[in-house]
Amino acid sequence: MENLTRTTLDDQPSTLRSRLAGRRIVLTGAASGIGRTTAKLFAEEGATVALFDRDAEGVRRTAEETSGHPFQIDITDEDAVLAAVGEAATAMGGIDGVVNAAGIMTKGLAADVRAADWRRVLEVNLTGTYIVSRCCVPYLLEADNATIVNIASAQGLLPNAPGHTAYAASKGGVVNLTRALAAELAPKVRVNSVCPGMVDTPMADGYRANVGNYALKRVADPREIAEAILFLTSVQASYVTGAALAVDGGRSFH
């Protein structure tokens, strides 16, 4: 994808690298898309990563690319998550941060989406985010500069497309879960959300041409979202908590 406007950390002086040196991060949705890209960026920046995903082969591949610790896991299974978080903390010597990037989408008008499909979207996107965060909290409270970054969506800020009611509701829930956790866990843990617009991942299949209401008139590269997640995880965002950062090419205001 041609991109004439973005600047990545690859273009920056080496003195700006290693912003996560020594950090130990649990990252969900690590087998593909934003999760995989974020895991690779975090590893480049010096973090040790524990990688959660249902896709065994995908999470294994990401682990090879990042020297991370792979866990094949369904984040809606509370007992499995609790066990995996404990193993991750043991393997990494603790947990300093969490990135909740796992998510699914059900496409269809509200009149056509069955309650079972609605529940599954909320279970993964919202309840799964809560479960992983809750299981990591005891370790985060023992860490310095602890962080949680939840991946919400521009749909969670401004639902404006038909066929995404369940997804928009789940991501709006993530935005407010983030705010509630930020208030509850302060001052020990900073909790923020990133709200992407359309990103060049398989979830955008069939929608990439629909960027007329985006000020920047293009979809995002996953790396652009990962860099926003990196900022909120780093000490550079030390005075930021409870924020819902729109990284959406101007979709929310345009």
pLDDT tens digits, residue range 61-113?
A: 999 999 999 999 999 999 999 999 999 999 999 999 999 999 999 888 899 99
Residue from 139, 167, 214, 239 carrying the catalytic annotation: 167
Backbone phi, psi, residue 191, to 5°: -130, 120
Mean pLDDT of all residues belonging to the chain: 91
Q: What is the pLDDT of residues 137-148, one digit of tens each?
A: 999 999 999 999
Question: Percentage of the chain with pLDDT > 70?
Answer: 90
The per-residue pLDDT for range 17-32, each reduced to its tens digit, is: 689 999 999 999 999 9
Give dist(CA 42, CA 32) in Å, integer. 15
Domains of the chain as residue ranges with CATH: 20-247 (3.40.50.720)
> Binning pLDDT at 50, 70 and 90, where does residue 6 land?
very low
Q: Cβ atoms within 10 A of the Cβ of 21, count?
A: 10
* Distance in angstroms (rounded) separating the CA atoms of residues 41 and 3: 19
Q: What burial class does residue 238 get, using C-beta atoms within 10 Å of its C-beta: 0-12 exposed, 13-18 middle, 19+ buried?
A: exposed
* 158, burial (CB in 10 Å: exposed 0-12, middle 13-18, buried 19+): middle
Instruction: Indicate the helix (H) or strand (E) that contains 79.
Output: helix 78-92
pLDDT for residue 12 is more than 60: no
Contacts of 239 by beta carbon, 8 Å cutoff, 6+ apart: none
Given a contact cutoff of 8 angstroms between Cβ atoms, the answer to whether 202 and 105 are in contact is no
* CB contact at 8 A, 173 and 122: yes
207 in catalytic set = no
- Residues 35-52 have pLDDT tens digits of 999 999 999 999 999 999
Tokens of 37: 């890209």
Which runs of E-coded beta strand occur in 97-145? 97-100
Measured distance CA(249)–CA(254) in Å, rounded: 9
Q: How many CB atoms lie within 10 A of CB 207?
A: 14
Closest CA to 189 of 142, 123, 245: 142
